[in-house]
Chain A
Amino acid sequence: MKYVDEFRDGELAKIISANIAQEATAVSGYNLMEFCGGHTHAISRYGITDLLPANVRMIHGPGCPVCVLPIGRVDQAIRLALEYSVILCTYADTLRVPASGGLSLLKAKARGADVRMVYSTQDALKVARDNPEREVVFLAIGFETTTPPTAVAIQQAAAENLNNFSILCYHVLTPAAMHAILSVEGGKTVPLNGFVGPAHVSTVIGSKPYEPFADDYNKPVVIAGFEPLDVMQAILMLIRQVNDGRAEVENEFTRAVTREGNLKAQHIVDEVFELRDSFEWRGLGSVPDSALKLRSKYFSFDAELKFNVDYVPVADNKACECGAILRGEKRPQDCRIFAIGCTPDNPVGSCMVSSEGACAAHYTYGRFRQIPIVAEALS
């Protein structure tokens, strides 16, 4: 068992696909949101939409950490690097996110900023140890999967008195974003019949935090692994729930996800972080209790406080539809500049940057197939 090839088997895919075709009988169709960018990527890469009947529609969710980061947050990091001359460490995906003034972290680097790509928070700590005379800031982004590694680094930095290390804490929470999707003001929400729940986020938080979406919102949730067969099976499980009139949390990814999740990781996160009152997301606006900040005992590692760089909100590029795409209202090909003015080499919006972004996934795998969007189909 290698846990990869087995879950990409073409014969099994045909069986699941046949089951879906047989069972997706509801005339009103099935509008399913894959919350996580990892699933968006898998769906595009393996052409899963081509294996689904026309009445099963996948809607991309906001679960791509780079995509939901608003411009003003990238600006903060760039200011630290350019004006405060810190060494700014970051995961590769954030380097090309467009910021104000035509800048990105990569372009700031070309202007002399010391921006360094790291693979792990351990690498960022090493940069801080190796450069005791410099300030080192780690741009900490991501959902519940990258949060525990940041928490471990903070505990280590505190234990080592690594006082030249700090973080820009932009960690965000999956359930809060799902809640926001389902309760957009003015009731303009996209009609959704269920969620494909994230794989790796759920290995950490478990399946329990999704129970309110089934119980209170009456939306089925099926947690799925990241391989193509996982996603297809989860879609089938959602179709079955809709057909039976059920709304439950089901787990397709039992090989790694339990109801309780990784308790050790949860405890470490809880020791280091607490909820932010509110955090601005690209597309979703300010969402209460949707992000984390360092607990007061770790304030000295908070770069926002240390350097006094405030967050200044900045509007997205006018042509960019990232906001509507992240809310599930539009598709990448609905953006006027998709693949014309905006490409992975020259992204205008954040959804074109990471391979998990909806626009980048559609662009890279050439899935430009035209499916009528729900709003049209309903009217």
Chain B
Amino acid sequence: MCLAIPARIEELNDSGNAIVNLGGVRKEISLALLDEVSVGDYVIVHVGYALQKLDEDEAKQTLAAFAEMGQLDELRAELMESGT
């Protein structure tokens, strides 16, 4: 039940709810726990409530960190330097 998924806000309605797109399915969720949500934002939806907004810049930085080669990179650099 904790398997909450990111969903895109498609529409805001008067009752403080939003329509989200959850993997192709449109669903009404509550925004009672989150301020300042706009159409196009991605939110984490859990048991029918938006829990938190997702930050695109942070997501990009995290993805960039995945690609860092850590010690392998250093190793390669050392090998290059030593001319092997």
Contacts and interface: CB of A to CB of B under 8 A. Distances in A.
Interface stretch (A138-146, A303-311, A314-322, A338-346): A138-146
Contacts of B5: 4
B39 interface: no
A233 B66 contact: yes
B47 A149 contact: yes
A18 B74 CA distance: 13
B47 A119 contact: yes
B1 A93 contact: yes
Contacts of A6: 59, 63
A163 interface: no
B46 A233 contact: no
Contact of A356 (B1, B29, B32, B60): B1
A252 interface: yes
Given A1-B60, A264-B33, A65 B52 contact: no
A146 B55 contact: no
A247 interface: no
B47 A19 contact: no
A354 B3 CA distance: 11
A23 to B, nearest CB: 6
Q: Which of A91, A146, A255 has the most CB of B within 10 A?
A: A255
Interface residues of B, number: 39
Contact of B2 (A22, A152, A200): A200
A146 to B, nearest CB: 6
B51 A233 contact: no
A350 interface: no
Given A22-B70, A200-B4, A356-B1, A1 B33 contact: no
B44 to A, nearest CB: 6
Contacts of B68: 15, 19
A158 interface: no
B71 A254 contact: no
Interface in A46-90: 63-66
A319 to B, nearest CB: 26
B8 to A, nearest CB: 8
Interface stretch (A120-128, A183-191, A210-218): A120-128
Contact of A262 (B29, B33, B47, B67): B33
Contact of B49 (A9, A16, A18, A149): A149
Contact of A142 (B1, B52, B55, B66): B1
Nearest to B71: A22
A176 interface: no
Given A19-B70, A262-B34, A2 B49 contact: no
A42 to B, nearest CB: 9
Nearest to A354: B1
Interface in B52-75: 52-56, 58-63, 65-72, 75
B64 to A, nearest CB: 10
Given A145-B51, A255-B58, A265-B34, 11 more contacts: A1-B42, A4-B6, A7-B63, A23-B71, A65-B2, A145-B46, A145-B47, A149-B30, A152-B30, A225-B62, A262-B34
6 closest Cβ contacts across the A-B interface? A120-B48, A203-B52, A3-B6, A19-B70, A255-B59, A255-B58
Interface of A: 1-4, 6-7, 9, 12, 15-16, 18-19, 22-23, 36-38, 41, 63-66, 91-93, 119-123, 142-143, 145-146, 148-149, 152, 198, 200-201, 203-204, 225-226, 229-230, 233, 236, 252-257, 262, 264-265, 268, 354-356
27 contacts: A1-B42, A1-B56, A1-B60, A2-B6, A3-B6, A3-B54, A4-B5, A19-B69, A22-B72, A23-B70, A63-B2, A92-B1, A119-B47, A120-B29, A120-B47, A120-B49, A123-B48, A142-B2, A149-B30, A149-B33, A149-B47, A152-B32, A152-B33, A200-B2, A200-B4, A257-B52, A262-B51
